[in-house]
Amino acid sequence: MQWLRDMWTKEGPGIPKDAPAKTGLALFADILAREWWEMVKLNILFILACLPVVTVPAAIAAMAGVSVAFVEDRNIYLLRDFTEAFLHFFWRATAWGLALTGGFALGIHAILTYTASARDNLVLATPLAVALVATAFLAVTACHLIVLMVMRDLPALRLLRLAALASVARPLPALAALAVNAALWLTHILFYPVSVFMPATFNFSLGMFAVAFGVHRAAVLVLDLPEAMRPHRHFIK
């Protein structure tokens, strides 16, 4: 049974020290090619952790922590790192999850309400546009917030302030990451039932990796912590 234990506990693959540095999409593809099997296992862990439903925010935080480790090319012991991050961030992630869910609910309700009303009154197109922009900004801020949370233990108000600052400074990478997530689920819908196994194998983990990859640079910038690029435990001060 050694192979089964090693599948979940052994260190992930690294890269040669003398390999030329890659950036952008080339780096994204390189990490994906190197860590794809870890992402499949991470996807399974995430689904299992979400089964009680109330654990979804903590599972998202744990998956984000592992995804940041992928981006920073740190050594990963998948089961241990996921479990420790899940326990460490449980209450904070749950609180932020409830707050963000409430914010999205309000935003979506406003969009639907103004969309229906704007058909008869074009004046309401202005508040509809405001609701759309506000909801999109909240989504971008949520991406930065979850990554910042797993990179550093910060007070709630400072975390929110830094997430908003990062969203203003570099919104496009986060929007691109959200577009990747939308494309994954749209592909799943369009090619169903051929794509029936996509959510079970990589949709969640690949989507979170896209978010972590997209917002990591902005997170490092607002934290002003060059050492964040060096190997360290992501949820330790």
Q: Which amino acid is at 171?
A: P
Residue 10 lies in a domain: no
77 forms beta bridges with: 11
Q: Give domain status of residue 62, yes or no.
A: yes
Is the model's pLDDT at 225 over the cut of 90?
no
Q: Kindly state whether residue 8 falls inside one of the protein's structural domains.
A: no
Task: Tell which residue, 58, 32, 232, 31, has the closest CA to residue 151.
Answer: 232
Does any domain span residue 5? no
Give the residue-averaged pLDDT of 206-217.
96
CA–CA separation, 20 and 57 (whole Å): 37
Q: How confident is the model at residue 231 (pLDDT cuts 50, 70, 90)?
A: very low
Q: Per-residue confidence at 228, pLDDT binned at 50, 70, 90? A: very low
Give the domain range for residue 61.
Answer: 23-229
Given a cut of 70, is residue 2 above it in pLDDT? no
Query: pLDDT tens for residues 78-115?
Result: 999 999 999 999 999 999 999 999 999 999 999 998 88
pLDDT in tens, 111-137: 998 888 877 777 778 888 999 999 999
SS3 20: coil
pLDDT tens column, 63-80: 999 999 999 989 889 999
Task: Locate 40 and state its tokens.
Answer: 């499949």
Q: How long a stretch of residues is the chain?
A: 237
Residue 144: HSE in the Cβ half-sphere, 13 Å Cα cutoff: 31
Does residue 124 sit within a domain? yes
Q: What percent of the chain has pLDDT over 70?
A: 86
C-alpha separations of 89 from 9, 34, 115 in Å = 21, 27, 37
The mean per-residue pLDDT over the stretch 144-170 comes to 95
Decide if 13 is inside a domain: no
Q: How confident is the model at residue 232 (pLDDT cuts 50, 70, 90)?
A: very low
165 part of a folded domain = yes
DSSP states of 62-123 = HHHHHHHHHHTT---BHHHHHHHHHHHTHHHHHHHHHHHHHHHHHHHHHHHHHHHHHTT-GG
Place of tokens 């390999």: 19
* Domains held by the chain: number: 1
Residue 2 lies in a domain: no
The stretch 14-18 carries a mean pLDDT of 57
**Helix or strand holding residue 186 (H, E):** helix 171-190
- At 34, phi and psi to the nearest 5? -80, -35
- 99 Cα distance to chain centroid: 17
> Between residues 224 and 167, which one has the greater pLDDT?
167
